[in-house]
Amino acid sequence: MARVTVEDCIDKVENRFELVLLASHRARMISSGSPLTIDRDNDKNPVVALREIADVTVSTGDLKEDLIHSLQKYVEVDEPEQDTVAGLIGSGSDEPDSDEIAFDQMSEEELLKGLEGLVPPEKVEEI
C-alpha cells in the first residue's frame, strides 16, 4: 500500500495549511456520502481525500469554493445600486428626472375592453 504524504500534494496546493483545510473538507464530504473518484483500497476518508488531491481527480479550486461556501453564514446578494437603477429607468423617458416612478393606471373595464380587442394568432400547420 502506497503512503500519501504532504510532498505528494504540495505541488497541487502550495500552502500546507490550505492543503489540510481542503483535505479535511473533502474527507467530510466523503463521509456525508459524496462519491469517490479513486479506489478506496481499505483507506480512511482523510487518506482517500489526500490521494484524490494528489492524483488531481478532484479540482482544488472547486474544493476551495465549496469550503468557503460551507463556512459562510450570510450570503451576499449582488443587487444593483439605486443610482444605477434610477439612471437606467430615467434615461429613456422625456420627463424630468424624479425620485418617484410613475405607473399608468388602468381600470378593470379598460383592461377587459383591451383584451376583447385582441385577435388570436392564426394557427400555422407544420409540414
pLDDT tens string 18-35: 999 999 999 999 999 999
Query: 104 pLDDT exceeds 80?
Result: no
Plot region of 91 (φ>0 → left; ψ -120 to 50 → alpha; else → beta): alpha
12 belongs to a structural domain:
yes
For the chain, what is the radius of gyration of the CA atoms?
29
77 belongs to a structural domain:
no
Compare 7 and 92 and report the one with higher pLDDT: 7
**How many angstroms separate the CA atoms of 10 and 16, rounded?**
7
DSSP state of 95: S
21 belongs to a structural domain:
yes
Mean pLDDT of all residues in the chain?
80
112 belongs to a structural domain:
no
Domain hosting 39: range is 6-71
60 belongs to a structural domain:
yes
Report the domain count for the chain: 1
10 belongs to a structural domain:
yes
Give me the residue label for grid cell 504532504.
6
pLDDT over 90, % of the chain = 35
Buried-exposed string 68-104: b where 16+ CB fall within 10 A, e elsewhere? eeeeeeeeeeeeeeeeeeeeeeeeeeeeeeeeeeeee
pLDDT over 70, % of the chain = 73
Query: 1 pLDDT exceeds 50?
Result: no
Alpha-carbon torsion angle 24, 72, 14, 58, nearest 10: 60
Residues 99/85, Cβ–Cβ less than 8 Å: no
pTM listed for this prediction: 0.56
CATH number, domain of 15, equals 3.90.940.10
Reported as type and span, the H/E element at residue 112 is helix 108-116
24 belongs to a structural domain:
yes
87 belongs to a structural domain:
no
